[in-house]
Amino acid sequence: MGGPLRRSEHKASGRCRKRLRREAREVGGDGPPTTDTLPLVSDQTFFADGLAGLEAGARADLASDEVSHVRAARIHPGRRLAVIDGAGARWDAELVALDRRRASCRLLAPVPPEPALRLHLWAPVANRDRSLWLVEKVVELGAATVTWIEWERSRSVADAGRSEGFLRRAEGRARAALKQSGRSWLPRLNGPRTPEEALGRHSGAGWLADAEGRPWLSAGIARGRERPRAGNGLTVAVGPEGGLTSSERRRCLEAGFELVSLGSTTLRFETAAVVTVAAAAAMLAGNGNEAEDERTI
């Protein structure tokens, strides 16, 4: 039965731990390592630069803003992680180098991404914090684009959607939500547009969330009456909490939007958007309405 360690044994134990940590940082060999010998960090996902066109065994640098995240997570060279580029590329990878300004990985095996949906959201310019929360949720649901609309009754207490600072923060929320959700497609975030500008760019089918729409969105989906033809995609438009004007509603209908409703209760804009986008995403995925990339609208 062992007793307490002497001082010399403590020093030896410390030297052993340091040696093991040093060896863990040393990565050799020319080809990709055998993946089953690497410790897994499957729940850690990071953005990497320039993944398009790379093959297994190639090296890629993580995005510069990810270096601090890698260090905070205490991930050392030799550990497994997932890397994405936000444009559909996803790889199992091994971290091979890390310093204060740079982190590099070796690509091990590509991971097929989920299908990209032709699903677009028009969100009202509104409260900043609730708008940022909405960005997170629709990224998780697979939206391809988010565009903020300056409806006539739009109002905001914090310049939401109107400033570059808001868009930068929204981009950060979108990137974090993409990593958390395991998706591979980062949506395009478009600064505020007038209804006229948005309608002028619109193509395909559209749902306009409005209290004057059909009583139940789910019933319309079940009947297939709102399903767009394959390849056309779908735009979900949500009005401000003050409601759409009759002129705005009429212009949307003339542009091909259909009125849909979630019932007689009054919902916040972000609640209506999340519910409608979720229904649209499920419908599009089941209807084969997918695209390689549809993030330019």
Instruction: Render pLDDT for 133-159 as a digit per residue (tens, 0 to 9).
Output: 999 999 999 999 999 999 998 876 555
Q: Is residue 252 very low, low, confident or very high in pLDDT (cuts 50, 70, 90)?
A: very high
Domain span(s) for CATH 2.40.240.20 in the chain: 30-110
pLDDT for 242: 84
- Smallest CA-to-CA distance from 256 within 205, 212, 199 is with 205
Of 68 and 233, more confident: 68
Neighbours of 163 (CB within 10 A): 14
pLDDT at 24: 42
At the topology level, CATH places domain 116-291 in Alpha/beta knot (3.40.1280)
Q: What percent of the chain has pLDDT over 70?
A: 72
Q: Which of 39-53, 81-95, 262-276 has the highest mean pLDDT?
A: 81-95
Amino acid in position 156 = S
Every domain of the chain with CATH number 3.40.1280.10 lies at 116-291
Q: Using pLDDT thresholds of 50, 70 and 90, give the confidence band for residue 260.
A: confident
Full strand arrangement of the beta sheet holding 205-214: 188-193, 145-149, 119-124, 234-238, 205-214, 257-260
pLDDT at 211: 73
> At residue 230, does pLDDT exceed 50?
no
> Are the beta carbons of 284 and 234 closer than 8 angstroms?
yes
Using the predicted structure, report yes or no on whether residue 45 has a pLDDT greater than 80.
yes
Q: What is the structure's pLDDT at 145?
A: 96
What's the CATH class of domain 30-110?
Answer: mainly beta
